[in-house]
Amino acid sequence: MDVTQAQGTVLVVEDDSAIADLVGMYLRQEGFRVLLAEDGERALEIVQRDRPVLVVLDIGLKGASDGFQICRRIREEGTTPVIIMTARGEEVDRVLGLELGADDYVTKPFSPREMVARVRAVLRRSAHQGLAGQVLIAGGVEVDTARREARVGGRPISLTAQEFDLLEYLARHPGVALTRRQILDGAWEPGWFGDERTVDVHVRQLRKKLGTALPIATVWGVGYRLE
Ligand code: CA
């Protein structure tokens, strides 16, 4: 599916109007409807009311809530993909953002083109499982590819788009020791921007959310294997 034809609403949350306008302009050129919010409270209202297909979220916001808190709130309410923008560029920010459920991040300064590429990549990842769904079994986890839902004992477990893609990839390769690079290319997309540490972050999240229901073994010097 061509993302440019799947026009939807993207919410840009940024209190620096120069950056918000620039990102907004490029996204509009790509065919998206763009809504802007200057603070977190407004952002949450828009998420609930307008149901954007994706949120671009600045971490350093003025007001009562910073981007991390907003990211957590968005994640609690649904599966809307989130790309965080950070000015600090520190690894801790990036890792914390991913642990809070962000699907990707960009570090300022970034080019608007790079931002657009990431928006498209995240949307492609969350949409690429199409109509021919099946239910894969990974240990004690049911991986429903049509509903994009993971269930343990029949109970749905809330996962981000990226976590679900990783889980599905593992479920399709049981018993195989997979390198981090293979997982990055296979679960997400070839040549994905992220470094291999991203895999570790998402595996940790899956282990935390799915516990012993998901038997992922760490293969030292290689990567991971679904038992
Ligand atoms: Ca800011």
DSSP assignments along 101-128, one per residue: T-SEEEESS--HHHHHHHHHHHHHHHH-
Q: Which of 115, 118, 12, 15 is nearest to 60 (CA)?
A: 15
- Given a cut of 90, whether residue 46 has pLDDT beyond it is yes
CA 15 – ligand 1 centroid, Å: 5
- What confidence score (pLDDT) does residue 107 get? 85
- Given a cut of 70, whether residue 5 has pLDDT beyond it is no
CA 205 – ligand 1 centroid, Å: 27
Tokens 């990567």 found at: 223
Which residues are within 8 A (CB) of 50 and not within 5 positions of it... i.e. 6 or more apart? Answer: 9, 11, 35
CA 4 – ligand 1 centroid, Å: 27
92 half-sphere exposure, CB direction, 13 A CA radius: 1
% of residues, the chain, pLDDT over 70: 89
User: Where is 223: in which H helix or E strand?
Assistant: strand 223-226
pLDDT average, residue stretch 11-23: 94
Average pLDDT score, the chain? 85
- Given a cut of 60, whether residue 58 has pLDDT beyond it is yes
CA 118 – ligand 1 centroid, Å: 19
CA 121 – ligand 1 centroid, Å: 24
Q: How confident is the model at residue 11 (pLDDT cuts 50, 70, 90)?
A: very high
pLDDT average, residue stretch 65-70: 86
pLDDT average, residue stretch 132-139: 78
User: Where is 182: in which H helix or E strand?
Assistant: helix 180-183
| Spatial contact of 59 and 84, defined as CB atoms under 8 Å apart | yes
Alpha carbons 120 and 116: distance in angstroms, whole number: 6
Under DSSP, is residue 138 helix (H, G, I), strand (E, B) or coil?
A: strand
In this predicted model, which residue has the larger pLDDT, 130 or 25? 25
Q: How confident is the model at residue 89 (pLDDT cuts 50, 70, 90)?
A: low
% of residues, the chain, pLDDT over 90: 47
CA 58 – ligand 1 centroid, Å: 6
Which residues are within 8 A (CB) of 155 and not within 5 positions of it... i.e. 6 or more apart? Answer: none
Candidate from 6-15, 16-25, 68-77, 123-132 with smallest mean pLDDT:
123-132
CA 87 – ligand 1 centroid, Å: 8
CA 184 – ligand 1 centroid, Å: 30
Residue type, 191: G
Alpha carbons 198 and 102: distance in angstroms, whole number: 12
CA 61 – ligand 1 centroid, Å: 5
